[in-house]
């Protein structure tokens, strides 16, 4: 993954990663910490609208009028005997709006992989706070899609969680677990590439909405081998966007079939 990112960093540390405007000098020293505040100019940073405070505690969707404790979508999912309990929780960071659509298009479809770095710090912070014992599993692309794009954005995001902890992160780890451990023994969980995607989305999108949503069409298959076994493990699915929640649930379904103990997800946009 690193080779995708290194080049841009060397050249653009002094410029906004998105619009290339020069960054104010007092930001530049902070570039060791990669985050939206050190990589993007103020204008580009403002594209990212954090989700409001009042969101569904289960899926991060902003709550509508009449929704008090959970959103209607979650209530509906949990009423279905097929989907009940499959995806326990989703956390998202930002609202998916028109600016973000452009951002995502450049990131994913026009191959600007380095834009993923904007989310690195935020992802790691959330992981350290809530998910240190979860194994990151990226939502895979189909083979065709991967060849077309050259990288999988979800795998890139997941790889951020599996890079070694800094000393500060290790201390936070101990606080989170409320246990003492030798620093060298504290390491993040490895990324498990536990899923494969067989169905090409292009062909999928020609089908009717009903066909796409029906649970018989699951594009994912689990990769079963000893190294990527999810049995008994807590799994954290990683993807860029949560729209209907169907993709994540289909992926989670496969992981549950393989006896994953729990499946949660982090998605950047909601």
Binding of Zn ion at residue 16 (CB under 5 A)?
A: yes
> Residues, the chain, total?
270
Which x/- pattern over 68-107 shows residues binding Zn ion (rule: CB under 5 A)?
---x--x---------------------------------
Determine the Cα angle at 176 with ends 39 and 121, to 5°: 5
The minimum distance between CB 24 and Zn ion, in angstroms, equals: 12
Binding-site size for Zn ion (CB under 5 A) equals 12
Tokens of 170: 């290790």
Binding of Zn ion at residue 18 (CB under 5 A)?
A: yes
The minimum distance between CB 70 and Zn ion, in angstroms, equals: 5
Residues in 25-44 that interact with Zn ion by CB under 5 A: 41, 44
Tokens of 12: 């653009």
Residue spans of beta strands (DSSP E) within 106-210 = 134-138, 195-197
The minimum distance between CB 49 and Zn ion, in angstroms, equals: 16
Residue 192, SS3? Answer: coil
Residue 208, SS3? Answer: coil
- Give φ, ψ of 61 to 5 degrees: -75, 135
Strand order in the sheet with 262-269: 89-94, 262-269, 234-241, 134-138
Question: Measured from the CB atom, is 44 or 86 closer to Zn ion?
Answer: 44
Residue among 268, 269, 260, 270 at smallest CA distance from 87: 260
Question: Measured from the CB atom, is 62 or 111 closer to Zn ion?
Answer: 62
The minimum distance between CB 91 and Zn ion, in angstroms, equals: 11
CA of residue 66 relative to chain centroid, distance: 29
Question: Measured from the CB atom, is 60 or 154 closer to Zn ion?
Answer: 60
Question: Measured from the CB atom, is 16 or 241 closer to Zn ion?
Answer: 16
Q: How far apart are CA 232 and CA 223, in angstroms?
A: 16
The CA R_g of the chain, rounded to the nearest whole Å, is 19
Which x/- pattern over 145-184 shows residues binding Zn ion (rule: CB under 5 A)?
----------------------------------------
Binding of Zn ion at residue 249 (CB under 5 A)?
A: no
Residues in 55-74 that interact with Zn ion by CB under 5 A: 56, 58-59, 61, 71, 74
| 249 in Cβ contact with 78 (< 8 Å) | no
The minimum distance between CB 71 and Zn ion, in angstroms, equals: 3
| 175 in Cβ contact with 191 (< 8 Å) | no
Options 11, 19, 85, 177; binder of Zn ion; rule CB under 5 A: 19
The minimum distance between CB 250 and Zn ion, in angstroms, equals: 17
The minimum distance between CB 220 and Zn ion, in angstroms, equals: 22
For 83, which DSSP code? T
Tell me which residues touch Zn ion (CB under 5 A).
16, 18-19, 21, 41, 44, 56, 58-59, 61, 71, 74
């Amino acid at each position: 993954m690193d080779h995708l990112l290194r080049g841009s960093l060397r050249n653009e540390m002094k410029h906004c990663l998105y619009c290339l405007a020069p960054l104010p000098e007092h930001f530049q020293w902070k570039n060791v910490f990669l985050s939206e505040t050190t990589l993007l100019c103020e204008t580009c940073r403002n594209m990212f609208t954090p989700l409001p405070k009042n969101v569904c505690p289960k899926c991060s969707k902003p709550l509508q009028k009449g929704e008090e404790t959970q959103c209607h979508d979650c209530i509906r999912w949990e009423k279905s005997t097929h989907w009940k309990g499959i995806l326990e929780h989703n956390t998202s960071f930002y609202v998916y709006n028109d600016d973000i659509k452009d951002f995502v298009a450049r990131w994913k479809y026009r191959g600007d992989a380095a834009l993923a770095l904007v989310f690195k710090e935020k992802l790691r912070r959330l992981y350290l706070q809530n998910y240190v014992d979860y194994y990151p599993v990226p939502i895979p692309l189909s083979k065709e899609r991967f060849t077309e794009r050259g990288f999988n954005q979800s795998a890139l995001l997941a790889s951020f969680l599996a890079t070694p902890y800094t000393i500060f992160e290790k201390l936070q780890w101990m606080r989170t677990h409320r246990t003492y451990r030798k620093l060298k023994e504290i390491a993040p969980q490895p990324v498990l590439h536990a899923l494969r995607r067989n169905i090409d989305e292009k062909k999928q999108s020609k089908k009717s909405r009903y066909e796409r949503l029906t649970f018989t069409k699951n594009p994912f298959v689990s990769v079963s081998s000893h190294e990527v076994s999810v049995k008994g493990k807590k799994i954290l699915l990683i993807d860029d966007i949560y729209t209907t929640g169907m993709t994540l649930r289909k992926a989670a379904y496969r992981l549950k079939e393989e006896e994953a103990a729990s499946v949660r997800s982090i998605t950047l946009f909601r």
